[in-house]
Amino acid sequence: MRRVRGIIGEGKKACVQTFGCQQNEADSERLGGMLSEMGFEIIYDVKDADLILVNTCAVREHAELKALSITGQFKHLKDAKPSLLIGICGCMVTQEHRAGTIKHSYPYVDFLFGTSMLYKFPEILWDTLTKDKRQILWEDTGEGNIAEGLPVKREGGVKAWLSIMYGCNNFCTYCVVPYVRGRERSRRREDILAEARGLIAEGVQEITLLGQNVNSYGNDLGTEGDFADLLDDICRIDGDFRLRFMTSHPKDASRKLIDVMAANDKIEKHFHLPLQSGDDRVLKAMNRRYTRESYLSLVGYMREKMPEIAITTDIIVGFPGETEEEFENTLDMLRRVRFDNIYSFIYSKRRGTPAEKMSDQIPDWVKKDRFARLLKVQDEISIAKNGELVGKTVPVLVEGRSKTDPARLTGRTAGNKLVHFTGDDALIGTRIDLHITQAETHSLFGEREK
């Protein structure tokens, strides 16, 4: 890193395009930090860039096709400006077959590296420039590899991601993540606490702790305590900040974690708890290792301890072998739990996963039909749940101007619901009380208290 600081990028502009989850966004903030240290100016329009880096996702085919298509569009930029550097990194190219596709079918891509090589980015860029040769660094996901102390270029000062662990050990049968992100590796408690202290000192209002399964934080560290202890420790840091975390696996979310959440005002009362399916046979085939009953009992405990809690979930429709009756069990769970919001996905076959080889794949039209029915059931629940807030006054963290209506500001409630309201730019980054006046399926409208 040191030898390339401020040299490679002087007078040049770089643009990082990110696909996928919050972990990828956090990774891109580190890539942006490294680019800044190398002297690049970070910009958001690829047309003016001297370097474009695409940070890809592999969770569903759709995300991969989008990344490939956008990379394809960069060819004409390179034709117009041959000195333009194009790089691809992240989960998609950590798969051997996709790295091969880039290598052979996208000859104008100058460098490629997988998720375990993120910290080597400056070196890879240096080699690309000095060796006059494409750097295609595909290799299996490194294990036990955490690089601390990388620079970070964060988006905005209100909210920050903080990765507490990397990788996943769960091997849900549909999921590619354990193959592209490697085994679970927890960051050391003191490193996390130091980063949290730094963020709070900088004035960050809200920190979201990230991990594929935060509930197994510390399992690989031995003696340092679990996720609930870590949350408790972060809450003890002085300052007026709030904490969120994601994602939790229902098989590992403990009563202790819920108790810590209930006892700490600094932890926002929102729980994202991916259900995936509401049918016990499907859950077993997915290797999820919990049942409808144990899930319902966890939700019951959460609501007993925190009646105001917002619960959201992920649902996959059309997992191989899912029958109509099994799908209806998922609808039944939506009606029983009454989630505040769901993130729903059509099952996507992923290379190398056990579900890819299951014989009874569901036809596309059935998957699409179930997806539409799922949304319909949830939309009614979402609007009813949002409606419960109308007439109430709730605290909201103001994030910025609304993307759809710049005349308005937007903020988020404790339950992570989007609220639009009219107000002054000076409110951005502050926490204010809003009187909720109107509810829609995916957002709320509010007014400042007079």
Positions that interact with ligand 5AD (CB under 6 A):
59-60, 174-175, 274, 276, 314, 316, 345, 347-348, 350
Query: Which of the ranges 65-73, 155-163, 171-179, 355-363 carries the binding residues for ligand SF4, by CB under 6 A?
Result: 171-179
Instruction: Tell me if 334 contacts ligand SF4 by CB under 6 A.
Output: no
Quote the DSSP letter at residue 197. H
Report, in Å, the least distance between residue 345 CB and ligand 5AD. 4
Instruction: Tell me if 253 contacts ligand SF4 by CB under 6 A.
Output: no
* Cβ distance to ligand SF4 smaller for residue 358 or 390: 358
Report, in Å, the least distance between residue 374 CB and ligand SF4. 18
Report, in Å, the least distance between residue 5 CB and ligand SF4. 35
Q: Compute the distance between CA of residue 231 and CA of residue 235 in angstroms, rounded to an integer.
A: 6
Q: Compute the distance between CA of residue 188 and CA of residue 146 in angstroms, rounded to an integer.
A: 10
Question: Quick one: CA torsion of 129, 135, 139, 142, rounded to 10 degrees?
Answer: 10
Q: Compute the distance between CA of residue 179 and CA of residue 307 in angstroms, rounded to an integer.
A: 38
Check if the beta carbon of residue 418 is closer than 8 Å to that of residue 412. yes
Check if the beta carbon of residue 198 is closer than 8 Å to that of residue 152. no
Q: 3-state DSSP call for residue 159?
A: strand
Q: Compute the distance between CA of residue 166 and CA of residue 206 in angstroms, rounded to an integer.
A: 21
* Cβ distance to ligand SF4 smaller for residue 49 or 175: 175
Instruction: Tell me if 343 contacts ligand SF4 by CB under 6 A.
Output: no
* Cβ distance to ligand SF4 smaller for residue 34 or 283: 283
Instruction: Tell me if 213 contacts ligand SF4 by CB under 6 A.
Output: yes
Query: Which of the ranges 132-140, 163-171, 220-228, 360-368 carries the binding residues for ligand SF4, by CB under 6 A?
Result: 163-171
Tokens found for residue 430: 């502050």
- Residue 42 has phi, psi (to 5 degrees) of -90, 125
Report, in Å, the least distance between residue 87 CB and ligand SF4. 25
Report, in Å, the least distance between residue 114 CB and ligand SF4. 17
Residue 259: in which H helix or E strand, if any?
helix 255-263
347 contact choice in ligand SF4, ligand 5AD, none (CB below 5 to 8 Å, kind-dependent): ligand 5AD
Q: Compute the distance between CA of residue 25 and CA of residue 381 in angstroms, rounded to an integer.
A: 30
Check if the beta carbon of residue 185 is closer than 8 Å to that of residue 143. yes
Binding mask 384-403 for ligand SF4 (x = CB under 6 A): --------------------
Residue 349: in which H helix or E strand, if any?
none
State the residues that interact with ligand SF4 by CB under 6 A: 168, 170-172, 175, 177-178, 212-213, 249
